[in-house]
């Protein structure tokens, strides 16, 4: 496939398809339109004949007899068996060839780790050192990549099967717990694009979206990463806590407006008197528990040790042990304080 | 020989032979069992359809952005998320799960085989009943027990896994708030119902063909039901075992599919689709059989390429077993497996294409009339053509990857399962309705309903192809606003289609109240079920039929007018008997015949 032929079409959207971001996407689209026109050809032919026969051979009197016609024709039957078979074998061949391109990464790739979990994506960059960022300032998780460099995602899930789907790259791969799946692409046009979860994963499946941010080149990508690192490091504890709440998937289950989700709301949680806040201990007893620093830290690291009354047991929450630093946990505690009773809500500038 | 000496009084039929609720639920008559299936299937079609309308209504509105950052009001208090149209995320997930599960397990799979098939298979064959009438009733009871499991799930409102029950979502209580055990138990029991019906049909076709009914003199619906039964008997046990393993894992915490317990979640998908892909052919092959009957009858022409159609049904049944892996192209299945499954998948296209070409050739130079059933038959050809052709996108690996799990797939399988299988089912109901009930319906109303359904169907599902190719994933409660125009078109068309179904239902109900009496053969059908009274007697025939020709010989028929329908010369000696019984007369001038 001559890539240059499609280079000028890169930014164009067609009626059926979104923008193309890679050579492989362009090749896939050629197949899409090949199949599309094949569909149109056969459909128009068949539909046209149905209409034509229905008009021409309609019964005009109730006992009209059909015109003499054979009820069987071996040559014709062979023709319409063999020609579709040949078409199908051809389609299989070209489809498989491009599929190989779509699935086989080049030898040298820039690797990014992806962890899918209900209902959030976490992207970390082991080769350049940025750990655990999964969001931008406006809270959608962002996958940042440099343009024109082959990227390989090494993906796994912490709970159920998800599927990372990037429409503009025409590619997707399931993200399966207990194993690593890989997906590679080479995005060629800087910009921001949608990422979806394509495998149904529960309550907020449709909100498990993210953004793909393609930087112009590696230098721009590293610039972004540096900004990002400073930004996270320099946050005030409360802001860091809010950042963690957004970025680490807490808000999928814990609201801050008082509504009950899969987990308890954070509103009014801090400082809740023990008699109003009963939890199930591992021993099986229901005990009043005071919400304080130790309770929060335990809930983050070992969510199953004490499960609040009225919520699923065992807890639906995965353990965050080792995935939040002490500084981040301290930030979460500060953030919870601002949402607690007798506290003022955070003032937004 | 007088009619009384045949052992039953004039005017007697399977509906009025015995009376009362008990006589129905203990009946061994395949026709009554078929009618009970029909009633149940239509009831669940109503429920599943209502869920679909609710889902589509919810999808009228997107959220501006799928995942919204927290908003704050002027005082700095966090504002709540804007509510969507009808209901919350969890409710949506439960509704699409139940819509899928009900439509697949309770409606489409039993639709043509268990309801229409039960009614017409023995009559078309020339037999008095199926081979194992008690097993037949038992399979209906199992169907009812299975539906009760689903109804309990429905009442408790706790199933949100999607009808595919993918692990580990379905197998771990920490992952989903579901009543998976009850629902899978239901599917397990329904599976046995399906197996028993399949065995019954296979044995009936093998052992109960009367003299002269050779394999290649069987109507094509029987070939289709035969192929379907083979799939039911061979594939359904795999589903049963799989669901049993799911229950064992969930109840006993033994790791089979759940990686947290040491299992393999993708293994479940292999097991599940090993049944559920052949199940697609359980759904569509009988529909093709019905379409063959409709197209031949209403063209008054022998079906073109009879043997090719018959054998392509069997071909579909066999190839259908080898292609399940195309549901797993993105699942981390190996590239080699993907290659093999892609290659094999293309070969289900061939028998399907062959059938379409044969139907076209049947229309050619026919004498085509457009009664209600034929409109469904023609709808079937058109919609199935689209459904089949768009399948090529999913067999071709390069295009399958982006389109997987998008609305493109949703549209494709609705074109096949709803637009084809269910349309054929509805067409079959209208075709055999006079035979089943002895009443003619208002054909004009029926035709209007058929046209509305055809237009509404295409309006509902065609836009889904477009949004799917643009990337809209399936099973999404929220979506980006750019997809909204397509969702709107789809939803409004679905209302229109629903009106068509309501009108069709009204037409049938009205016929029971006000319809005129049906003649034995109102359409000029040449198969055996038209050579007996409408409705047939409990034993189906007054004389054991003798078959000496292909099932689609229309040359021997004469038209007697709209009230009397068609008369077949081959059965001329029985005609007076049939008419006499049909009219409830005790004798007719030529009523005595001693030929049998």
**Tens of pLDDT along B385-404?**
999 999 999 999 999 999 99
Query: Cα A206–B48–B141 angle (5° rounding)?
Result: 130
Query: A69-90: string of b/e by CB count within 10 Å (b at 16+)?
Result: eeeeeeeebeebbeebeebbee
B66·A207 Cβ contact <8 A? yes
- Residues in chain A with CB shorter than 8 Å from the CB of B302 are 71
Residue B270 contacts A, CB cutoff 8 Å: no
Residue B173 contacts A, CB cutoff 8 Å: yes
Decide: A213 and A142 in contact? Cβ < 8 Å.
yes
Residue B99 contacts A, CB cutoff 8 Å: no
| Low-confidence residues in chain A, pLDDT < 70 | 1-13, 129-139, 342-349
pLDDT at B270: 93
A312·B173 Cβ contact <8 A? yes
Residue B346 contacts A, CB cutoff 8 Å: yes
Residue with tokens 């799946």: A181
Question: What is the rounded distance in angstroms from the CA atom of residue B596 to the CA atom of residue B592?
Answer: 11
Question: What is the rounded distance in angstroms from the CA atom of residue B220 to the CA atom of residue B200?
Answer: 18
Question: What is the rounded distance in angstroms from the CA atom of residue B420 to the CA atom of residue A179?
Answer: 39
A43·B398 Cβ contact <8 A? no
Report the gap between the CA of A233 and the closest CA in chain B (Å): 22
- In this predicted model, what pLDDT tens digit does every residue of B206-238 receive, in sequence order? 999 998 999 999 999 999 999 999 999 999 898
Instruction: With both helix axes pointing from N to C terminus, report the angle between B118-125 and B423-437 in degrees, rounded to the nearest 10.
Output: 70
Report the gap between the CA of B90 and the closest CA in chain A (Å): 5
CB atoms within 10 A of CB B509: 12
Tell me the helix, strand and coil percentages in chain A, rounded to 5: 35, 20, 45
Among the listed residues B227, B218, B342, B359, the one whose alpha carbon sits nearest the alpha carbon of residue B283: B227
B592 pLDDT more than 70: no
How far is the CA of B62 from the CAs of A15, A236, B461, B482, in angstroms? 21, 35, 18, 9
**Lookup: tokens for B378:** 């023609």
B389·A81 Cβ contact <8 A? no
A91·B395 Cβ contact <8 A? yes
Residue B324 contacts A, CB cutoff 8 Å: no
Residue A48 contacts B, CB cutoff 8 Å: no
CB atoms within 10 A of CB B9: 13
Decide: B483 and B472 in contact? Cβ < 8 Å.
yes
Residue with tokens 């407006």: A257
| Residues paired with B567 in a beta bridge | B558
Residue A342 contacts B, CB cutoff 8 Å: no
Return the residue of B nearest to A17 by Cα: B470
Interface of A with B in 222-241 (CB under 8 A): none
- Residues in chain A with CB shorter than 8 Å from the CB of B93 are 200, 202-203, 205
B402·A204 Cβ contact <8 A? no
Residue with tokens 């029991």: B189
Worst-scoring range by mean pLDDT, B5-14, B21-30, B186-195? B5-14
A205·B386 Cβ contact <8 A? no
Interface of B with A in 8-37 (CB under 8 A): none
**Cis ω on the peptide bond leading into residue B168 (within 30° of 0)?**
yes
Decide: B340 and B398 in contact? Cβ < 8 Å.
no
Given pLDDT bands bounded at 50, 70 and 90, which one contains residue B89?
Answer: confident
Residue with tokens 């003022």: A344
- For the CA atoms of A290, A292, A297, A302, the dihedral, rounded to the nearest 10 degrees, stands at 0
pLDDT at B233: 94
Worst-scoring range by mean pLDDT, B63-67, B291-295, B408-412? B63-67
Mean pLDDT of chain B: 88
The phi-psi region of residue B573 (left if phi > 0; otherwise alpha if psi is between -120 and 50; otherwise beta) is alpha
Greatest Cα-to-Cα distance within chain A, rounded to the nearest angstrom? 92
Question: What is the rounded distance in angstroms from the CA atom of residue B60 to the CA atom of residue B569?
Answer: 58
Report the gap between the CA of A334 and the closest CA in chain B (Å): 17
Question: What is the rounded distance in angstroms from the CA atom of residue B92 to the CA atom of residue B525?
Answer: 45
- Residues in chain A with CB shorter than 8 Å from the CB of B346 are 88-89, 91-92
Backbone dihedral angles phi then psi of residue B7, each to the nearest 5 degrees:
105, 0
Residues 6+ apart with CB under 8 A from B384: B284, B287, B288, B291, B352, B356, B415, B416, B419, B420
Question: What is the rounded distance in angstroms from the CA atom of residue B513 to the CA atom of residue A202?
Answer: 47
Residue B266 contacts A, CB cutoff 8 Å: yes
Worst-scoring range by mean pLDDT, A46-55, B78-87, B108-117, B338-347? B78-87
Report the gap between the CA of A273 and the closest CA in chain B (Å): 23
Decide: A143 and A184 in contact? Cβ < 8 Å.
no
Given pLDDT bands bounded at 50, 70 and 90, which one contains residue B155?
Answer: confident
Parallel, antiparallel, or unpaired for β A110-117 and A151-157? parallel
Which uninterrupted H or E stretch holds A131? strand A130-133
The whole-model pTM stands at 0.85
Decide: B126 and B544 in contact? Cβ < 8 Å.
yes
| Residues paired with A172 in a beta bridge | A165
Question: What is the rounded distance in angstroms from the CA atom of residue B426 to the CA atom of residue B450?
Answer: 9
More confident residue, A345 or B123: B123
Residue A197 contacts B, CB cutoff 8 Å: yes
- For the CA atoms of B452, B454, B455, B458, the dihedral, rounded to the nearest 10 degrees, stands at 150
Residue A292, SS3 per DSSP: coil
Residue A195 contacts B, CB cutoff 8 Å: no
Interface of B with A in 179-238 (CB under 8 A): none
Parallel, antiparallel, or unpaired for β A210-215 and A142-146? parallel
- Residues in chain A with CB shorter than 8 Å from the CB of B89 are 203-204, 206
Residues 6+ apart with CB under 8 A from A245: A251, A254, A256, A266, A332, A335
The phi-psi region of residue B77 (left if phi > 0; otherwise alpha if psi is between -120 and 50; otherwise beta) is beta
DSSP-derived secondary structure letter, B346 = H
- In this predicted model, what pLDDT tens digit does every residue of B311-370 receive, in sequence order? 999 999 999 999 999 999 999 899 999 999 999 999 999 999 999 999 999 999 999 999
Question: What is the rounded distance in angstroms from the CA atom of residue B353 to the CA atom of residue B347?
Answer: 10
pLDDT at B65: 45
- Residues in chain A with CB shorter than 8 Å from the CB of B398 are 27-28, 31, 94-99, 102
Mean pLDDT value of segment B16-25 = 88
Decide: A259 and A289 in contact? Cβ < 8 Å.
no
B459 pLDDT more than 70: yes
Interface of A with B in 66-85 (CB under 8 A): 66-73, 76-77, 80-81, 84-85
Q: In percent, how much of chain B has pLDDT > 70?
A: 91
B349·A246 Cβ contact <8 A? no
pLDDT at A80: 92
Q: Determine which of B396, B478, B563 to mutate to test the interface with A (most A C-beta atoms within 10 Å).
A: B396
A176·B332 Cβ contact <8 A? yes
Nearest to B175 among A160, A170, A178 (CB): A160
Residue A90 contacts B, CB cutoff 8 Å: no
pLDDT at B590: 43
Mean pLDDT value of segment B84-89 = 71
pLDDT at B84: 55
Residue A11, Cβ density class (10 Å: 0-12 exposed, 13-18 middle, ≥19 buried): exposed
Question: What is the rounded distance in angstroms from the CA atom of residue A49 to the CA atom of residue A57?
Answer: 11
Mean pLDDT value of segment B125-150 = 94
Question: What is the rounded distance in angstroms from the CA atom of residue B158 to the CA atom of residue A131?
Answer: 38
Q: Determine which of A56, A58, A100, A207 to mutate to test the interface with B (most B C-beta atoms within 10 Å).
A: A207
What is the complex's ipTM, to 2 decimals?
0.90
Among the listed residues B488, B307, B434, B292, the one whose alpha carbon sits nearest the alpha carbon of residue B374: B292
Among the listed residues B467, B520, B523, B491, the one whose alpha carbon sits nearest the alpha carbon of residue B57: B491
Decide: B385 and B252 in contact? Cβ < 8 Å.
no
Report the gap between the CA of B330 and the closest CA in chain A (Å): 5
pLDDT at B6: 54
- In this predicted model, what pLDDT tens digit does every residue of B249-274 receive, in sequence order? 877 888 888 888 888 999 999 999 99
Decide: B76 and A347 in contact? Cβ < 8 Å.
yes
Backbone dihedral angles phi then psi of residue A196, each to the nearest 5 degrees:
-120, 160
């Amino acid at each position: 496939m001559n890539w240059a032929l499609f280079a000028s079409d890169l930014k164009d959207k067609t009626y059926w398809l979104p923008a193309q971001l890679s050579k492989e996407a362009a090749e896939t689209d050629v197949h899409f339109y090949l199949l599309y026109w094949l569909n149109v050809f056969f459909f128009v032919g068949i539909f046209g004949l149905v209409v034509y026969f229905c008009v021409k051979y309609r019964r005009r009197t109730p006992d009209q007899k059909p015109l003499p016609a054979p009820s069987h024709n071996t040559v014709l039957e062979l023709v319409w068996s063999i020609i579709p078979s040949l078409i199908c074998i051809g389609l299989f061949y070209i489809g498989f060839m491009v599929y190989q391109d779509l699935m086989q990464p080049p030898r040298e790739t820039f690797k990014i780790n992806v962890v899918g979990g209900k209902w959030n994506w976490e992207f970390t960059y082991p080769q350049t050192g940025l750990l655990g960022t999964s969001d931008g300032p406006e809270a959608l998780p962002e996958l940042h990549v440099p343009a024109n460099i082959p990227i390989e995602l090494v993906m796994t899930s912490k709970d159920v099967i998800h599927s990372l789907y990037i429409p503009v790259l025409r590619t997707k791969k399931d993200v399966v717990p207990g194993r690593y799946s890989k997906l590679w692409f080479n995005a060629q046009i800087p910009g921001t694009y949608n990422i979806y979860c394509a495998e149904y994963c529960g309550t907020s499946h449709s909100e498990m979206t993210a953004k793909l941010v393609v930087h112009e080149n590696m230098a721009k990508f590293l610039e972004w990463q540096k900004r990002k690192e400073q930004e996270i490091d320099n946050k005030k504890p409360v802001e860091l806590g809010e950042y963690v709440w957004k970025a680490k998937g807490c808000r999928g289950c814990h609201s801050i407006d008082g509504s009950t989700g899969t987990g308890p709301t954070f509103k009014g949680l801090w400082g809740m008197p023990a008699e109003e806040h009963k939890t199930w201990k591992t021993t099986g007893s229901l005990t009043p528990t005071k919400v304080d620093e130790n309770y929060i830290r335990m809930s983050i690291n070992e969510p199953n040790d004490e499960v609040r009354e009225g919520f699923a047991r065992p807890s639906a929450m995965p353990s965050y042990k080792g995935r939040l630093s002490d500084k981040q946990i301290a930030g979460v505690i500060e953030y919870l304080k601002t949402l607690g009773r007798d506290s003022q809500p955070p003032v937004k500038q | 020989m007088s009619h009384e000496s045949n052992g039953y009084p004039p005017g007697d039929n399977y509906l009025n032979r015995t009376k009362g609720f008990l006589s129905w639920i203990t009946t061994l008559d395949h026709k009554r069992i078929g009618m009970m299936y029909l009633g149940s299937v239509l009831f669940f079609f109503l429920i599943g359809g209502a869920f679909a309308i609710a889902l589509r209504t919810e999808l009228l509105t997107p959220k501006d952005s799928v995942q919204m950052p927290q908003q704050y009001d002027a005082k700095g208090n966090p504002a709540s998320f804007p509510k969507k149209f009808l209901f919350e995320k969890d409710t949506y997930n439960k509704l699409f799960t139940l819509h899928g599960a009900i439509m697949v397990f309770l409606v489409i799979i039993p639709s043509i085989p268990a309801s229409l098939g039960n009614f017409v298979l023995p009559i078309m064959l020339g037999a008095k009943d199926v081979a194992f009438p008690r097993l037949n009733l038992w399979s209906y009871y199992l169907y009812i027990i299975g539906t009760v499991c689903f109804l309990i799930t429905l009442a408790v409102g706790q199933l949100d896994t999607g009808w595919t029950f993918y692990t580990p979502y379905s197998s771990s209580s920490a992952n989903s708030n579901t009543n998976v055990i009850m629902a899978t138990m239901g599917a397990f029991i329904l599976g046995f119902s399906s197996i028993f019906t399949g065995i019954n049909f296979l044995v009936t076709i093998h052992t109960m063909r009367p003299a002269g009914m050779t394999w290649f003199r069987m109507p094509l619906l029987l070939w289709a039901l035969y192929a379907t039964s083979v799939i039911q008997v061979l594939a359904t046990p795999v589903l049963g075992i799989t669901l049993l393993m799911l229950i064992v894992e969930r109840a006993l915490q033994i790791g089979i599919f759940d990686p947290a317990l040491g299992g393999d979640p993708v293994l479940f998908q292999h097991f599940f689709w090993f049944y559920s892909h052949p199940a697609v052919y359980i759904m569509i092959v009988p529909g093709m059989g019905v379409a063959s009957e409709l197209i031949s009858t209403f063209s008054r022409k022998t079906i073109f390429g009879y043997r090719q159609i018959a054998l392509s049904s069997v071909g579909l049944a066999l190839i259908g077993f080898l292609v399940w892996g195309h549901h797993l192209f993105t699942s981390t299945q190996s590239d080699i497996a993907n290659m093999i499954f892609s290659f094999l998948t293309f070969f289900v296209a061939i028998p399907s294409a062959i059938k379409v070409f044969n139907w076209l050739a049947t229309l050619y130079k026919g004498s085509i009339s457009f009664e209600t059933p034929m409109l469904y038959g023609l709808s079937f050809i058109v919609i199935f053509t689209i459904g089949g052709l768009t399948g090529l996108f999913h067999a071709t690996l390069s295009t399958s990857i982006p389109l997987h799990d998008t609305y493109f797939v949703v549209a494709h399988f609705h074109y096949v399962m709803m637009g084809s299988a269910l349309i054929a089912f509805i067409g079959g109901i209208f075709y055999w309705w006079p035979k089943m009930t002895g009443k003619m319906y208002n054909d004009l109303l029926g035709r209007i309903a058929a046209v509305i359904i055809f237009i509404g169907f295409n309006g509902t599902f065609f836009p889904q192809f477009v949004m799917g190719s643009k990337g809209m994933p399936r099973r999404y409660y929220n979506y980006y606003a750019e997809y909204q125009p397509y969702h709107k078109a789809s939803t409004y068309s679905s209302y229109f289609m629903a009106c068509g179904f309501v009108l069709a239902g009204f037409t049938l109900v009205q016929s029971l109240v006000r319809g005129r009496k049906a003649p034995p053969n109102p359409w000029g059908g040449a198969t055996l079920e038209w050579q007996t009274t409408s409705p047939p007697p409990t034993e189906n025939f007054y004389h054991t039929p003798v078959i000496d020709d292909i099932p689609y010989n229309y040359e021997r028929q004469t038209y007697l007018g709209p009230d009397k329908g068609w008369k077949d010369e081959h059965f001329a000696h029985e005609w007076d008997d049939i008419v006499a019984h049909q009219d409830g007369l005790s004798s007719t001038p030529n009523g005595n015949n001693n030929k049998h």
